[in-house]
Structure 1
Amino acid sequence: MKPRKIFIYQLLPRLLGNTQANNIQNGTLEENGCGKFNDITGKFLNQLKKGGYSHVWLIGVLAHASTTDYTQYGIPREYPEIIKGNAGSPYAVRDVYDVDPDLAMNVNGRMREFEALVERIHRAGMEVIIDFVPNHLARNYKSINRPEGVDEFGCNDDTSVAFSPGNNFYYLPGEELEIQFPVKKMADVTYRESPAKVTGNDCFTNKPTPYDWYETVKLNYGIDIQNGYIKHFSKIPDTWNKMRDVLIYWSKKNIDGFRVDMAEMVPLEFWRWVIPQVKKEFPKILFLAEIYNPDAYRLFLAHDNFDYLYDKVGLYDVLRDVACGYRPSSDITFALNNVGDIQHKMLNFIENHDEQRVASDYFLKDGKHGPAAMIVTACVNVNPVMIYFGQELGERGMDEEGFSGKNGRTSIFDYWSLDTVRRWNNNGKWDDTLLTGEERALQKFYAKLLTLCNRERALSEGLFYDLMPANYDNFEFDSTKQFAFLRGTGDELILAVVNFDNKEVDVVVNIPTHAMDFFGIPDNGSFNAFPLLSDSKFNTVFSIDSPIRIKVGATSGELYKISSC
C-alpha cells in the first residue's frame, strides 16, 4: 500500500552501520570505525518500509572535509585546524560533485556504491532525499570530481575586492585568516588563506571564533551584504549558474528530493529562478527548506517553489515546552493557527540532527515520555513527518564523542557508534533480539503510529478539528496538560487525545455538535470509540450530550476510531 502521507527517516550513514564499539573520545576512523553505504542493506530498508516510512534522508553523503587522509586516491589534503571534529561537519562540503569516501568500501568506487544505495532504497519502495548546501562551502574547497567543462568555484574571482557580482566568494582584501583558538595542526603544514574569505554564517572578519562556522566560507549570490544588501541581479550571478548545475547533477542520479540547508540565507530570487528549472526537467523532485523565519514562510512557498518547510520555531518549540511542562498544552492551538493555511506544508518532527534527543537529560530524560508529543506531531495534519534514526529506540544522545561533547545530541562531527543502533543492527539482522523490553515497546509504538497514519484515511487525508476551545471550561479535562482533536474525511473520523502529564488521568472530552457538522457526520445518537494504538478491544460509547470518558496513560495518548452505534 502506497502511503498517502510522507514519513521521512533521517539517518547518518557514518553512524548507522558502524558496529565497532571502541568509541574512543576524539577517535580516528581507524580507531572507531565508520558505517558504509553498503551497510544500509535491503533488509534494513525493508524494515523501514514495513515501519511506515516513505522517504529516507541521507545526511553526510556529500564529500565533506575530514581529518582522514585520502591523498593516495587523489583527494586533496585536509587541514585539521579548519575542521570540526575528526569526521568533520557534513555541512562543510569540500566537493559538491562527490560523495564522502568514508562511506565507501572501495574509495575509488564510492560513487557507484552510492548509486547502488539509491537503487536499493527505490527497490524497497521508498524515495531518497539528500542535502543541498547552498549558502557555504568547506574552507578548503576543491572539486576533483566536477563534470567536464564545469569551472571551479572562485577560479575567476577578483580577490582584490571585497565584493563583486561576478565573484563566487566574499573577501577581506589585505587580511589573512587567523584562527583565534587552540587547534590541532599537521606537523609539516599550516593552512593559509590570504585574502581571508568571509565565514559561512555571514561573519565578515578574518578572525572567526569557535562559535562561528569557521570551517566554511560564504557563497556570493550577487548581494553586497556590507553595503546595504544591494542586489546585483541584472545579470545572473555566476554562483546561481554553478549551483543550478549542482542540483541538476544530483537529480540525474535519481535523487527524489533535496533538504536545503539554511535556505533563507540565500536570496529568495535565486530559489524562484532555480527551482522551476529543476522541476521542469524533474517534475516530481521535492525541495524541503530548513528555515527559521516565520515571516518568510509564505514567500518561500509561493509559486510552488519549495514543497515543504521546517516547522521548528513553531510546533517543535511549543511541543518541546509543553512536554517539559514549561507551557500549557493549549498553546499547541496557537502554534497550529500561526501556520493555519500552510500547515499542510510544514515538516513536523521532535528530533533531528540539530536538536537534542527526546530521551536526553536535557529534554525528557527517557524515550518513553515522548509518545504524547509524537502523536500530535504525526497526526495533526496531512503534512510530512520526520523521525531521526534511533529516536524510535529511545537513543539518549548522551555520549561524549569528542568535538560534539555531552550535549544531548548525536554527534555529526565525530567517528562513533550508537549502542542502541548497534544492538538493533545485530550483525546485519536488524531485529529486536538485543533490544531491551522498553526499546522494543517504543519501536513498536512508532511503527504502529506510522502504520495507522498511512492506513487510516482520516489521518492521511482528513481535515483537522481542534477540540480545545470546546473543553476550556471542562473541569474534567486539563487544558494545560491534555490536548484533543479530531481528524476526518468522508464518513471516517478519528479522535486523538494526548496527555502530557507524568501520571495517568481520567478525562472527559466534549465533542460539540459543530464538529460533527464540520465533518458531515449525522448525529444519530450514540457513537462507538474504538482504540487503535493500544491493545484494548473495548469500545467506549458516547453521545454529543454525554461526552466521552476515557483513561489516558502518562505522557502518552490514544487514537479512537469513531463510528455510529
Structure 2
Amino acid sequence: MKKTILALIAFSALSMQAQSGKSKNMEQSPKQKIVVYQVFTRLFGNKNTVNKPWGTIKENGVGKFSDFTDKALTEIKHLGVNYIWYTGVPHHALVNDYTKYGISNDDPDVVKGRAGSPYAVKDYYNVNPDLATNPAKRLEEFEALIKRTHKNGLKVIIDIVPNHIARHYEGKNNPKGVRDFGADDNKEVGYDKNNNFYYIPGHAFEVPTSDSYKPLGGEQHAGLDGKFNENPAKWTGNGSRAVKPDINDWYETVKINYGIRPDGLKEFPQLPYGFDKQGYEAHYEFWKEHEKEVPSSWKKFRDIALYWTAKGVDGFRYDMAEMVPVEFWSYMNSAIKMKNPDAFLLAEIYNPNEYRNYINIGKMDYLYDKVDLYDKLKEVIQGKSNPDGISDIQTRFADIEHNLLHFLENHDEQRIASPEFAGNAHKAKPMAVLSATISSSPMMIYFGQEVGEPGKQDAGFGKPSRTSIFDYIGVPNHQRWMNDGKFDGAKLNKEEKALREFYQRLLNFSLDAPALLGEFRQLQQANRQNPNYPQEVYAFARFDDKQKLVIVCNFSNTKSSFFELKIPSDVIKDMKLEDGTYVIKDQLYGKSTIKLNIANGEGKIGITIAPSESFIYQINQ
C-alpha cells in the first residue's frame, strides 16, 4: 500500500509538471538540426570489387569495424553529420563457419542470402562476427568503435528489432540471469501471455519452397536439405500462422508475442486516459508499478536496450515498430530515457494514422516520413505530379513536424540513381534541399547516396536498384570515395565529386542555420495565381529572429525558368520586414546575389533557375 501511495504522489507531481509545460519529455525547440548518416556496416569498408552473385566472404569481401578509422569518421563528420547509424551490428544469422569461436552454424534453408538479413537477429548480446578482425574479440572491437565514433564528434545508433528474431536464436552471451527467448515457454499451447513465441502445437515447421528461388543460388551445400528442426512450429515474423510459410514471408524469422492473444485481445495493463500528454517519467513510474503484470517479452527487449545503452550506444532505430503494441514502446522507451534522456529513438512506421500515438504514447522521438514526404517527392521527381501537395503534408503534420525524419535513400529503398527511381543522382538535388530545410526534423543520408551510388550489383538474394543487405558485395561509387582506405575521394569522377560537395554544403548549412528551427510558410498558394509560375517549382520561407530564408527548388531536370516570386504580406509581416530593397544571397552555392523588393508590405524577387537547381536565399537586413 505504501508503495502504491508513493507512486500516486510521484505521478501527481509529474502530472502537474507536465501541465505546466516543464516536463523533461515535453517537446522543446531543438537546439540544432540532426543529420543521420546510415552505413550498412559490413559493406562500408569492403575494398573487394569482384562482385560475384552469391559470392562467398572470401570471394566478395566484407567490411570490418576497424575500417571506420579516425580519418573515415572525420570525413563523415565533415560531410555535415552528427549521428551515425551502424546498420547490421547485432549478431544475426549468416552462412559462414565460426564454430571455432563457439558460434553454431546457421541453416542456409532459413537464411536469406549468404551474409544474411540484419533483421534476423541470432544473439542480441553480441555482434556480427563478420565485422570483426578477430571474431573472438568482436564485442570488444565494437566497443572500441563506439569510443572512436564519440571521439570524432559523432553519436551512435544501432538497430533493435522487437517484432521478430531469427528462427535459430541462440543467446550464448547472455548476461547473468538472462534467459533465452522461448526458454521458459509452454510449448503445449498456441498462446500464453508470458510465452515469447506463438506456437502451432502438433505440427513441425516446414521450409518454404519455390520454383523461382533456390537458397545460395542453387549451390551444393552440406546444410541445404530443405529441412529445419522446429517442433512445434512457430508463427513467422510477418505474422504468418502457416506451418509452411510462403517464400515471400519473413520465413527466416519468428514472431515475438507481446501478450496479444491471437484474437487481438491485449493481456497487459493499459495506460490511463490522458497519458499521451504525460512525460516519459510518468510512463516509467506507471510501468514500475505494474512490472509484475508485464509480459516476459517486454522485459527481455527492455533489458537488451539498456545493455547497449550502458555500453555507450546513443540511440536505436526500431525495425517495423508498428507491428509491436504502442504500450510496449511506452514501457521500453521510458526506461531508456530514464537512463539517457537524450537517447535518439527512431521508429520505422508506415501508418500516418498512428504517428501521434507512437510519439505521444510510445515516446518515440522520430518516425520515418516515408508514406508522406518521401513518397510525394519520388512522385514529383518521376514527373507524376507537381510539388504543390507538399504544402498539405506540412499542414497536416505541423504539430509533429520535428518528429518526422526525412530521407531519400535507406537500405530498404531504391537508390536514387537507379533507373527505377530517377536514373541520375543529380536529379535528386531539389529533393535533398527541400528535405533538409523544410522543417526542424532530422535528415538522413544513406552511405553512397552522396556520390551517386546506383545499386546496380546483382549480389544474389534480391535484385538491383537497392544495394543488397543480404549478401557480400562491393559498393563501387562508395569504394571510389573510400580509395583503398584513404577516404579522400581521389578516385571519384568529376560528377561524383560535385555531388558530394553539394551534399556537404547543404548538410553543413542545415546544421548551423537557426531559421530551420523556426517558422515555415509555404509560398505556393500566392504564386500559383501567376500563370508564369512554373509547375515544377516549390518555394517556401523559413525564419526566426536571427535569420530569414527564402528557399526555391526546381524539380524539373530539363527546364530553366525565369519568374517573379511573390512573398505575400502576411509572410513579410511575420518576418518583420519593412518596405525597401534587400540584398539576398544564396547560401548553397554562394554565387547568386539578387534583390528582394518590398512595396506596400508585399515582396517580389526575380528568379532565374536552372534544371534541378535550388536556392537558399538569406535576406540581409
What TM-score does the superposition give when structure 2 sets the normalisation length? 0.88
Instruction: Give the counterpart of 2:503 among 446, 451, 454.
Output: 446
Q: Give 1:86 deviation, angstroms.
A: 0.2
Q: Give 1:463 deviation, angstroms.
A: 1.2
- SS of the equivalent of 2:158 reads strand
Q: Give 1:3 deviation, angstroms.
A: 7.8
Note the residue ranges of structure 1 that are not aligned, 5 or more in a row.
none
Partner of 2:238: 201
Q: Give 1:539 deviation, angstroms.
A: 3.0
Aligned ranges 1:112-511 → 2 under 5 Å: 112-182=140-210, 183-184=214-215, 186-187=221-222, 190-225=227-262, 227=263, 229-233=264-268, 235-302=293-360, 305-406=363-464, 408-459=465-516, 461-478=517-534, 480-502=535-557, 503-511=559-567
The change in CA–CA distance for 1:491 and 1:276 in structure 2 (over 3 A counts) is: closer
Q: Please say if residues 164 and 222 of structure 1, whose CA atoms lie closer than 8 Å, have aligned partners that are also in contact.
A: yes
Q: Say whether 1:109 aligns with 2:146.
A: no
Q: Give 1:399 deviation, angstroms.
A: 1.3
Q: Please say if residues 333 and 362 of structure 2, whose CA atoms lie closer than 8 Å, have aligned partners that are also in contact.
A: no
Deviates more, 1:528-537 or 1:441-450: 528-537
Q: Please say if residues 498 and 558 of structure 1, whose CA atoms lie closer than 8 Å, have aligned partners that are also in contact.
A: yes
Question: How large is the Cα RMSD of the aligned pairs?
Answer: 1.5
Q: Give 1:416 deviation, angstroms.
A: 0.5
Q: Which amino acid aligns with 2:418?
A: S
Note the residue ranges of structure 2 that are not aligned, 5 or more in a row.
1-29, 270-292
Structure 2 Cα separation of the partners of residues 223 and 304 of structure 1: 17
Structure 2 Cα separation of the partners of residues 497 and 221 of structure 1: 47
Q: Which amino acid aligns with 1:470?
A: A
Deviates more, 1:110-119 or 1:327-336: 327-336
Q: Please say if residues 596 and 604 of structure 2, whose CA atoms lie closer than 8 Å, have aligned partners that are also in contact.
A: no
Q: Which amino acid aligns with 1:231?
A: K
Aligned ranges 1:48-127 → 2 under 5 Å: 48-127=76-155
Q: Give 1:563 deviation, angstroms.
A: 2.2
Partner of 1:512: 568
Partner of 1:31: 59
Structure 2 Cα separation of the partners of residues 485 and 526 of structure 1: 20
Instruction: Encode CA deviations 1:478-505: one digit per residue, 9 max, x unaligned.
Output: 2x31100011110420110001112221
The change in CA–CA distance for 1:378 and 1:500 in structure 2 (over 3 A counts) is: same
The change in CA–CA distance for 1:68 and 1:3 in structure 2 (over 3 A counts) is: farther
Q: Which amino acid aligns with 1:463?
A: E
- SS of the equivalent of 1:416 reads coil
- SS of the equivalent of 2:593 reads coil
Structure 2 Cα separation of the partners of residues 282 and 370 of structure 1: 36
Structure 2 Cα separation of the partners of residues 441 and 22 of structure 1: 27
- SS of the equivalent of 1:526 reads strand
Instruction: Encode CA deviations 1:169-198: one digit per residue, 9 max, x unaligned.
Output: 001111111123154474366421111110
Q: Give 1:561 deviation, angstroms.
A: 0.6
Partner of 1:543: 598
Q: Please say if residues 13 and 40 of structure 1, whose CA atoms lie closer than 8 Å, have aligned partners that are also in contact.
A: no
- SS of the equivalent of 2:567 reads coil
Structure 1 Cα separation of the partners of residues 87 and 584 of structure 2: 41
Structure 2 Cα separation of the partners of residues 17 and 215 of structure 1: 27
Q: Which amino acid aligns with 1:361?
A: P
Q: Please say if residues 327 and 362 of structure 2, whose CA atoms lie closer than 8 Å, have aligned partners that are also in contact.
A: no
Aligned residues: 557
Instruction: Encode CA deviations 1:11-34: one digit per residue, 9 max, x unaligned.
Output: 011111000111111001111110
Q: Give 1:540 deviation, angstroms.
A: 3.0
Q: Please say if residues 509 and 548 of structure 1, whose CA atoms lie closer than 8 Å, have aligned partners that are also in contact.
A: yes
Q: Give 1:542 deviation, angstroms.
A: 2.7
Q: Please say if residues 370 and 556 of structure 1, whose CA atoms lie closer than 8 Å, have aligned partners that are also in contact.
A: no
The change in CA–CA distance for 1:38 and 1:491 in structure 2 (over 3 A counts) is: closer
Structure 1 Cα separation of the partners of residues 93 and 451 of structure 2: 30
Q: Give 1:541 deviation, angstroms.
A: 4.2
- SS of the equivalent of 1:192 reads coil
Partner of 2:577: 522
- SS of the equivalent of 2:548 reads strand
- SS of the equivalent of 1:445 reads helix
- SS of the equivalent of 1:539 reads strand
Instruction: Encode CA deviations 1:397-442: one digit per residue, 9 max, x unaligned.
Output: 1211110222x10100010011111111112111121101000000
Q: Say whether 1:560 aligns with 2:595.
A: no
Structure 2 Cα separation of the partners of residues 93 and 125 of structure 1: 29
Structure 2 Cα separation of the partners of residues 231 and 303 of structure 1: 16
Q: Please say if residues 514 and 546 of structure 2, whose CA atoms lie closer than 8 Å, have aligned partners that are also in contact.
A: no
Q: Give 1:453 deviation, angstroms.
A: 0.8
Partner of 1:40: 68
Q: Please say if residues 579 and 597 of structure 2, whose CA atoms lie closer than 8 Å, have aligned partners that are also in contact.
A: no
What TM-score does the superposition give when structure 1 sets the normalisation length? 0.96
Structure 1 Cα separation of the partners of residues 489 and 479 of structure 2: 11
Q: Please say if residues 56 and 126 of structure 1, whose CA atoms lie closer than 8 Å, have aligned partners that are also in contact.
A: yes
Q: Give 1:338 deviation, angstroms.
A: 2.1
- SS of the equivalent of 1:231 reads coil
